[in-house]
A = this chain, B = another copy of it.
Amino acid sequence: MDFAPDPASQEITERARRFVAEQVLPAEPELEKQLAAEPAHWGRTPIIHDLQDRAREAGLWNLFLPGAHGAGLTQLQYAPIAELTGHSPQLAPVAMNCAAPDTGNMELLAQFGTPAQQEQWLEPLLEARIRSAFCMTEPGVASSDATQIATRIRRDGDDWVITGRKWWSTGAMSPDARLLIVMGVTDPDAPRHRQQSMVLVPRDAPGVRVVRPLSVFGYDDRDHGGHAEVAFDEVRMPGDAILSAPGEGFAIAQARLGPGRIHHCMRALGGAERALDLMRERASSRSTFGRPLADQGVVREWMAQARIQVEALRLLVLKTAWLMDTAGNRAAMTEIQAIKIAVPRAVLGILDHAVQLFGAAGVSGDAPLAALWAGARALRLADGPDEVHLSSLGKAELRRAPVL
A118-152 vs B, CB cutoff 8 Å, 1 = contact: the mask equals: 00000000000000000001010011110010000
A370 to B, closest residue via Cβ: B217
Q: Give the complex CA separation of A273 and B402 in angstroms.
A: 9
A318-361 vs B, CB cutoff 8 Å, 1 = contact: the mask equals: 11001100100000001100100110000000000001100111
A27 CB within 8 Å of chain B: no
A254 CB within 8 Å of chain B: no
The reply to whether B1 and A322 contact each other, CB–CB distance below 8 Å, is yes
Q: With A288-B144, A308-B341 in contact, is A301–B215 under 8 Å at CB?
A: no
Residues in B with CB closer than 8 Å to A280 are: 397-398, 400, 402
Stretch of A64-72, A197-205, A382-390 that contacts chain B? A382-390
The reply to whether B312 and A403 contact each other, CB–CB distance below 8 Å, is no
- Give the B-binding residues of A (Cβ under 8 A): 1-6, 9, 17, 20-21, 25, 76, 84, 87, 137, 139, 142-145, 148, 167-168, 214-220, 273-274, 276-277, 280-281, 283-284, 286-289, 294, 296-308, 311-313, 315-316, 318-319, 322-323, 326, 334-335, 338, 341-342, 355-356, 359-366, 370-371, 373-374, 377-378, 380-382, 385-391, 393-395, 397-398, 400, 402-404
Residues in B with CB closer than 8 Å to A374 are: 217-218, 363
Q: Give the complex CA separation of A121 and B303 in angstroms.
A: 43
Q: Give the complex CA separation of A335 and B72 in angstroms.
A: 32
Q: Give the complex CA separation of A57 and B401 in angstroms.
A: 28
Residues in B with CB closer than 8 Å to A355 are: 377, 381
Q: Give the complex CA separation of A2 and B298 in angstroms.
A: 37
A403 to B, closest residue via Cβ: B273
The reply to whether B390 and A338 contact each other, CB–CB distance below 8 Å, is no
Q: With A1-B318, A341-B308 in contact, is A381–B360 under 8 Å at CB?
A: yes
Q: Give the complex CA separation of A302 and B394 in angstroms.
A: 7
Closest Cβ of chain B: how far from A392's Cβ, in Å? 8
- Residue of B6, B356, B381, B402 touching A380 (CB-CB under 8 A): B356
A-B contact pairs, 17 of them (CB 8 A): A1-B3, A4-B326, A17-B403, A142-B287, A217-B373, A217-B374, A277-B403, A280-B397, A280-B400, A300-B390, A301-B387, A308-B316, A311-B338, A356-B387, A360-B381, A363-B377, A363-B378
- Residue of B313, B364, B404 touching A312 (CB-CB under 8 A): B313
A359 to B, closest residue via Cβ: B381
